[in-house]
Chains A and B, each alone.
Chain A
Amino acid sequence: MVGGERRLSGQHVAVAVRGMTDVLDATVGSGSRWLTPLRGRHGPTGLLLAAPLVLLLLVVGYPMWVLLQQSVSGPLGWNIFLELLASDVTRAVLLRTLLTAALVTFVCLVLGYPYAYLLTVASPLLRAVLIVLVVLPFWTSFTIRTLAWVVLLQDQGMINNTLSTLGLPSLSLIRNVTGVVIGMAHVMLPFAVLPLYAAMRRIDRRLVDAAVACGASRRAAWRQVYLPLSLPGIVAASVLVFILSLGFFITPQLLGSPRNALLSQLIYMNVTQVGDNTTASALGVLLVAVTLLLLVALTVIVRILPGRTPKGAR
């Protein structure tokens, strides 16, 4: 019992990360579980998987291979990666990209968690409306959505005009990180809400009542019972939003400033302005590598955490 609570929280994370890897298996497509059916005696399954795997190898694997070749084709060879990591500019941009993605993830969780909870308690009609509202942006052009933010956020835009009408000081909402985070969080919100909702929908809300009947306040019941159960959704949403945010281009291009460029913008600049395809490719490879590294790190954490109590342990 000593340290029971602490051990418990580690287990929550482990459970959550496991849930997350399931989501990733389905969405991002990482992990060896994909290949397991091929190794076994699952003849028909293997055949069914063969077609999409071949397609993936062609449209994802081959370009990646070309990209890698191109990045090491310069005079520096493989050393280009060391060179890039040694460069202050690259490091600063990489760090900014990671921080921006983290900030977007945080904003999406803060907005998405209550929204997803609302979905679980809403009447069927309201739920349908709320889901449509969150998915609606998917049906609109990405660029138009971002341009809409420009209209709202710019210095003479709707928000600042309203503020000045009310006699309030204007805000700098565009050409900086604020604008980028607002625009990206808007695009990413569905990716946070949907996994959160999927996890919360499975939570029996009588459990909170049970905790309250045991003497817990509503707040304690939420923290000790509901939150741990929704953790798989939180982790799945975080990973999804974070990784997708790493590669954003149009939104930071329109709402950010070149001074605050993200990695994708640096790649774009290298291609269009510098004409250095080698560096651009190497940066692309770097982005993929960082993403994969993060995924691997998470998977390792899952294995290490003491959450996996063996079945039937006494």
Chain B
Amino acid sequence: MADQTSLKSRTRWRTATRPQTSHGGVELRLTGLTRSFGSAIAVDNVDLTVKPGEFMTLLGPSGSGKTTTLNMIAGFLAPDSGRIMFDGRDVSSLPANRRNIGMVFQNYALFPTMSVRDNVGYPLRQRRVKASQRRSQVDAALEMVELGHLWDRRPAELSGGQQQRVALARAIVHRPPLLLMDEPLGALDRRLRDSLQSEIAAIHRHVGSTVIYVTHDQDEALCLSDRIAVFRDGRIEQLSSPSDMYEQPETSFVASFLGDSNILVGTFTRDGNLRLPDGTEVRCGPADAGRGDAAVAGPATVVVRPERMRLTELEATPRSGTNCLVGVVIEERYLGATRMVALDVGGDRRIVVRENSGAGQTRPIGSRLRVCWEPADGVWIDRGADRHGESS
């Protein structure tokens, strides 16, 4: 594990040979899950199936219902309606302590009066595991989070990162088939977050539990998850793998929440292009896509990721077939490995381009540049034809 922790983060810790663990995880199925607080609907008719052993992230801004959903899965909150099934068994009315889960809380929630070892051993104590066996399991769990040497400390004597490692060990010591994590890294600084991310991924591989991971941090979601469910206003806005979520966002909310994006709004033309308000037409999506159902023109939106765009001098001739706009640099942000350049392309529209900063070339504010991208890098969010087709 040491070699993995030393690796850079923002890497997806996925090996091709993920072991099919025998103890594994539970299949979690939510059907029609609804919960409101007073007049506010926190979770609105959520359906979700999580495969055994899958790492599922519930991603969304605060108040989007992801934590409420987690609390209902854990059993801390009763749903107003809908069902929660573990391996086809309805657990909706089962109290939290009988759902056999492991849970990690944002504020660690370690028991202050107990030593690290007693904290980690607590789930085993509740399961009446014999003291000798309990001890070896606790030590194994502490070893897994590399805290074996701190077993006799009190939580107050540990740093935040160590406390969260202890909490992680406590959540997995009994090999729960379902591991719930409620923004477990939210209270930690960036470096600790990175190293704990890889630790969480390694533990997931090792234990094989089904994981439900709640976060509002898109980087965590992208790097850890098998699939991501983006929550918005109590509903799942999109459910897909991290790469699909990033490459093929289905709504502009997902596109802007997950990573940076340029959202181009215009009208859908008969020949399958997007016409911007200034009359420029841009070609989008795979060359043949959308042509067939392009019968009706209407409002449409296209998303292009900033790193898929390139800046060139005005004098250079763009390759034919690429989309190009001309704009004036209004902002430049140096980010180390990359540089974000914002351009005003007219009509109050702003395009952000991310380029490698290696070349040493700067983009002075006020300079006029051409920004180009391949049609295939544009993703249709909603297309006039689709929209009309749906509503009729």
Contact = CB atoms under 8 A, between A and B. Distances in A.
Contacts of B107: 204, 206
B95 interface: yes
B103 to A, nearest CB: 4
Contacts of B105: 206, 209-210
Nearest to B131: A1
A168 to B, nearest CB: 40
B113 A314 contact: no
A311 B97 contact: no
Interface string A288-314: 000000000000000000000101111
Contacts of B114: 8
Given A207-B109, A213-B97, A215-B127, A314 B152 contact: yes
Contact of A228 (B102, B113, B134, B170): B113
A211 interface: yes
A15 B122 contact: no
Contact of B126 (A206, A216, A312): A216
Contacts of B74: 213
Given A1-B134, A214-B122, A207 B111 contact: yes
A8 B113 contact: yes
A2 interface: yes
B154 A209 contact: no
Interface string B117-138: 1100111001100010011000
Contacts of B131: 1-2
B118 A213 contact: no
Interface string A151-165: 000000000000000
Nearest to B128: A215
Given A1-B117, A225-B111, A229-B113, A311 B157 contact: yes
Contacts of B95: 212, 217-218
A207, A211, A215, A313: residue with the most chain B Cβ atoms closer than 10 Å: A215
Nearest to B135: A1
A309 B154 contact: yes
B126 A314 contact: no
Say whether chain A's binding surface is mostly helix, strand, loop, or mixed: helix
A216 B121 CA distance: 12
A12 interface: yes
B118 A210 contact: no
Interface in A50-106: none
A40 interface: no
A213 B117 contact: no
Contact of A8 (B97, B118, B157, B180): B118
Given A1-B117, A225-B111, A229-B113, A213 B154 contact: no
A123 B253 CA distance: 36
Interface in A218-236: 218, 220-221, 224-225, 228-229
A4 interface: yes
Interface residues of A, number: 31
A15 B113 CA distance: 9
B98, B114, B121, B131: residue with the most chain A Cβ atoms closer than 10 Å: B114
Contacts of A312: 157
Interface size class of B (residues with CB under 8 A): 35 or more
Interface string B89-105: 00000011110111101
B76 interface: yes
Contacts of A210: 103, 105, 109-111
B51 to A, nearest CB: 23
A218 to B, nearest CB: 8
Contact of A217 (B97, B100, B121, B153): B97
Contacts of A225: 111, 113
A214 B113 contact: no
Contacts of B135: 1
A211 B111 contact: yes
A214 B118 contact: no
A11 B112 CA distance: 12
B174 interface: yes
Contacts of B18: none
B149 interface: yes
Contact of B109 (A1, A2, A204, A224): A204
B76 A229 contact: no
Given A1-B134, A215-B123, A220-B126, A229 B96 contact: no
Interface string B340-356: 00000000000000000
A224 B119 CA distance: 11
A225 B118 CA distance: 12
Contacts of A211: 111, 122
A15 B103 CA distance: 28
Contacts of A213: 74, 76, 96-97, 101-103, 180
B309 to A, nearest CB: 45
A89 B391 CA distance: 96
Contacts of A218: 95, 97
A209 B112 contact: no
Interface string B173-191: 0100000100000000000
B109 A206 contact: yes
Interface in A1-32: 1-2, 4, 8, 11-12, 15
Contacts of A2: 131
B166 to A, nearest CB: 12
Contacts of B126: 214-216, 220
Interface string A183-219: 0000000000000000000001011011111111110
Nearest to A206: B109
Interface of A: 1-2, 4, 8, 11-12, 15, 204, 206-207, 209-218, 220-221, 224-225, 228-229, 309, 311-314
Interface of B: 74-76, 95-98, 100-103, 105, 107, 109-114, 117-118, 121-123, 126-127, 131, 134-135, 149, 152-154, 157, 170, 174, 180
7 closest residue pairs by CB, A with B: A215-B126, A210-B109, A213-B103, A214-B123, A228-B113, A212-B96, A212-B97
11 contacts: A1-B121, A212-B97, A213-B74, A214-B126, A215-B98, A215-B126, A216-B126, A217-B97, A218-B97, A220-B126, A314-B149
Given A214-B103, A216-B126, 15 more contacts: A1-B121, A2-B131, A8-B118, A207-B112, A211-B122, A212-B97, A213-B102, A215-B98, A215-B100, A215-B174, A218-B95, A228-B113, A229-B112, A229-B113, A313-B152
